[in-house]
Amino acid sequence: MSMTQPFVDLGEIERARDAISGTVRMTPVNLSPSLTAHAGVPVHLKLEHTQLTGSFKLRGATNAVASLTGAEKRRGVVGVSTGNHGRGLAFAARAAGVKCIICMSRLVPQAKIDGIKAQGADVRIIGSSQDEAQLEVDRLVAEDGMTMIPPFDHRKIIAGQGTVALEVLEQVPDAATVLVPLSGGGLISGVAAALKASRPDVRVVGISMERGAAMHACLKAGKPVLVEELPTLADSLGGGIGLDNRLTFAMTRDLVDDVILVTEAEIAAAIRHAYWQERQIIEGSGSVGIAALLARKIESPGPVVAILSGGNIDMNQHHRIISGEDVDVTQEAA
């Protein structure tokens, strides 16, 4: 579509790394002996759940806030995300001394509200739907001149998320395949742009859950389409990509080699594996790379890197999963 912007390039990602280095953590990589034995090639885990705020979203948010003009910074930023983007944005704004308001509906669970508040954002509870919360954001933008920072379809966000790949290139220079949890595609667009510019032979594989894999459906349709959101253990991967998508749809279509889907049972097995074998607490969305490896859905001629993208899981749910309970979220009311 003519609305598509030029792709985010390596230079923008390198500049993002400089812009965010004072706020974000460079996260470690662990070689997994058990997954290496299972896959027959070295498997490295990029521990991005150990990032401040518990996910990579802090990288993009920090870069987006750093890119604002002085006047924009004085007026502040707004968002609607109740999940990892909201946490990252709140933290990034506070670190930069910028006011941040996260708007959410009355239906958002208290634990999520507390998670955002704990990062220092002002939480505004508006109405009883995400749409009503969005209307309040639109008002704050129109009337108070605040800047809305979206979760993925934004150059500065994509460039910030791409800095994960700059670290991977240094930490695992012989990586042959990189597994990337995929929702709106901000992470995979940045990662693929960085990797393909330096090592075009590296395979970049997106992993989504079977239940509500929006980008996968859009790639099949050849354009952004509406996809029904369903309850899933990979709750950070839910939601659509936006019918007016400017960047992540085209970047994912053109730069990503493959997209693979995993089941709820495979995600639960991966959360268990991460805990008992790797000693890591990973949320469902962060574990989909491990899920695909355990299910033998990945073939790689050489070393694999799985990005463990986040760790913000409800600890009661985590406890039930690692204890071997059959946790089925698919029957919950949407």
Ligand X SMILES: *Cc1c(COP(=O)(O)O)cnc(C)c1O
Interface with ligand X (CB under 6 A): 55, 57, 84, 152, 181-188, 236-237, 283, 285-286, 309-310
Closest CB to ligand X among residues 152, 249: 152
Six-digit token pair at 78? 């707004």
Closest CB to ligand X among residues 42, 181: 181
Closest CB to ligand X among residues 224, 310: 310
Closest CB to ligand X among residues 8, 73: 8
CB of 175 to ligand X, least distance (A): 19
Burial level of 331, CB count in 10 A (0-12/13-18/19+)? Answer: exposed
Count of all residues that appear for the chain in the document:
334
Alpha-carbon distance of 306 to 309, in angstroms, equals 9
CB of 5 to ligand X, least distance (A): 16
CB of 208 to ligand X, least distance (A): 9
CB of 37 to ligand X, least distance (A): 26
Closest CB to ligand X among residues 76, 206: 206
Stated as kind and residue range, the H or E segment containing 64 is: helix 57-66
Closest CB to ligand X among residues 29, 259: 259
CB of 204 to ligand X, least distance (A): 12
Q: Provide DSSP, 237-279.
A: G-S---TT--SHHHHHHHH--EEEEE-HHHHHHHHHHHHHTT-
Closest CB to ligand X among residues 76, 185: 185
Question: Could you give the 3-state DSSP secondary structure of residue 57?
Answer: helix
Q: Which amino acid is at 331?
A: Q
Alpha-carbon distance of 88 to 92, in angstroms, equals 6
What are the CA-CA distances from residue 303 to residues 39, 40, 192, 285 (Å)? Answer: 10, 9, 17, 22
For residue 181, list its beta bridge partners: 207
Residue nearest ligand X, CB atom distance: 310
CB of 211 to ligand X, least distance (A): 15
In eight-state DSSP terms, residue 122 is: E
CB of 294 to ligand X, least distance (A): 18
